[in-house]
């Protein structure tokens, strides 16, 4: 008769070890480290919120930083803020990401980029039936087409960079790129699109030693969120609050660490980590340990996700019942 410990040993030790070994062999792309020091980090939307915090942290870590946004006044204010607190100068470029020629001029003037952070984004939260098509187009143009413009403009010089060290294209999406939320019909569509862009692009640029990161911030305390809160349906805030909120500096720290470690999916808090596991699907994974966590927890996390949907639909039902008396 088999020893009773043998079953225990194979279930809890040998099977996980075999799975770890398998994942170690198969995870792709391979792990990579992206150096930041002395490299050119170009951040769009770098004059405010998460982008400004990222510019500040990258400058402190010794990067040569360029920031791009529309308002020159806000860019100068950001440059002064960074100079005052660090003594470091960042380069500023005024352009609208919706204008490809303007973006291309700025990128050419800035010089070859090692780490491109495409962070600009806008949101006008509203139910689709109350939203103007012009607002839908505005979000798609800035959040999705704007990213294509930036990446198209920067990619040729990134591919031909003299320094062959690993380079990065980091795209700031949102947790609304992982799950659709009431009031974010257009915003979510613009941000979900970034995932397709990022997954396909990673395959296209891997041979050039360029690594794509997709960052998923939750609600983050920024001027952008303050503006958004003025028109946000109350139920949107109730649902979005399931993931808590963060400070721009904390999100920037998570984002920069994710970029430096070459992670494809970069969640910013614990709820974001659960969301990333729940939505991992066929996305690339460099870490065999993270792949192990994904494989072994996916079932239980799917149950947690269904519980979230249960509470959200319950909240929507109650909210409608209250509104209609
Ligand atoms: N804050 C949140 O709760 C939150 C949550 C999830 C995801 N995110 C995402 O994180 C990113 C940063 O958000 P944030 O809250 O830090 O934003 P923010 O404080 O509103 O700052 C937005 C930045 O983007 C620039 N920008 C906006 N439209 C532009 C355009 N057409 N062309 C060039 N630059 C433009 C703005 O400068 P100008 O206005 O001068 O152009 C500003 O520098 C966005 O992609 C957002 O969707 C934010």
Give tens-digit pLDDT for 44-55. Answer: 999 999 999 999
| Peptide bond between residue 29 and the one before it cis (omega within 30 degrees of 0) | yes
Say how many Å lie between the CA of residue 53 and the centre of ligand 1: 12
- Tell me which DSSP letter residue 179 carries: S
Q: How far is the CA of 142 from the centre of ligand 1 (A)?
A: 9
Query: What is the tens place of the pLDDT at every residue in 215-264?
Result: 999 999 999 999 999 989 999 999 988 888 999 999 999 999 999 999 99
Q: In the predicted model, is pLDDT for residue 19 greater than 60?
A: yes
Give the right CATH number for 31-323 from 3.40.50.920, 2.60.40.420, 1.10.10.10, 3.40.50.720. 3.40.50.720
Ligand 1 neighbours (beta carbon < 6 A): 44-45, 47-51, 69-71, 74, 96-98, 119-123, 142, 146, 172, 174, 217, 219-220, 222-225
- By most ligand atoms within 8 Å of CB, the mutation choice from 45, 101, 186 for ligand 1 is 45
List, for residues 95-115, the tens digit of each pLDDT value: 999 999 999 999 999 999 999
pTM value? 0.96
The string of DSSP letters for 106-158 reads HHHHH---SEEEE---------GGGS-HHHHHHHIIIIIIHHHHHHHHHHHHH
Eight-state DSSP code of residue 233: -
Any idea which of 13-17, 73-77, 120-124, 153-157 has the lowest mean pLDDT? 13-17
CA separation for the pair 127, 129 (Å, rounded): 6
- How far is ligand 1, taken at its centre, from the CA of residue 265, in Å? 20
CB 33 within 8 A of CB 96: no
């Amino acid at each position: 008769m088999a020893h009773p410990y043998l079953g225990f040993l194979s279930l809890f030790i040998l099977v996980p070890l075999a799975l770890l070994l398998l994942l170690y062999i198969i995870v792709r792309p391979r792990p990579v480290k992206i150096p930041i020091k002395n490299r050119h980090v170009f951040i769009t939307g770098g004059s405010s919120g998460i982008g400004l915090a990222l510019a500040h942290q990258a400058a402190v870590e010794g990067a040569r930083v360029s920031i791009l946004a529309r308002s020159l006044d806000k860019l100068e204010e950001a440059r002064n803020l960074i100079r005052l607190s660090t003594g470091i100068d960042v380069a500023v470029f005024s352009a609208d990401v919706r204008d490809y020629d303007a973006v291309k001029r700025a990128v050419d003037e800035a010089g070859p980029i090692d780490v491109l952070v495409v962070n600009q984004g806008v949101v006008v939260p509203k139910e689709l039936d109350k939203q103007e098509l012009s607002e839908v187009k505005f979000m798609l143009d800035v959040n999705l087409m704007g990213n294509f413009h930036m990446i198209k403009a920067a990619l040729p010089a990134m591919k031909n960079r003299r320094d062959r060290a690993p380079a990065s294209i980091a795209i700031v999406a949102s947790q609304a790129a992982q799950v659709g939320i009431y009031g974010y019909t257009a915003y979510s569509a613009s941000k979900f699109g970034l995932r397709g862009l990022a997954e396909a692009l990673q395959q296209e640029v891997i041979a050039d030693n360029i690594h794509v990161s997709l960052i998923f911030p939750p609600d983050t305390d920024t001027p952008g969120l303050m503006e958004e809160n003025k028109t946000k349906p109350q139920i949107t805030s109730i649902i979005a609050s399931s993931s808590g909120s963060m400070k721009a500096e904390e999100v920037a720290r998570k984002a920069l660490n994710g970029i430096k470690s070459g992670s494809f999916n970069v969640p910013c808090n614990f709820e974001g980590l659960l969301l990333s596991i729940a939505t991992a699907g066929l996305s690339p994974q460099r870490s065999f340990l993270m792949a192990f966590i994904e494989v072994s927890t996916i079932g239980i996390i799917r149950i947690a996700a269904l519980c979230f949907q249960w509470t959200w639909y319950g909240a929507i039902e109650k909210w409608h019942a209250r509104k209609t008396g």
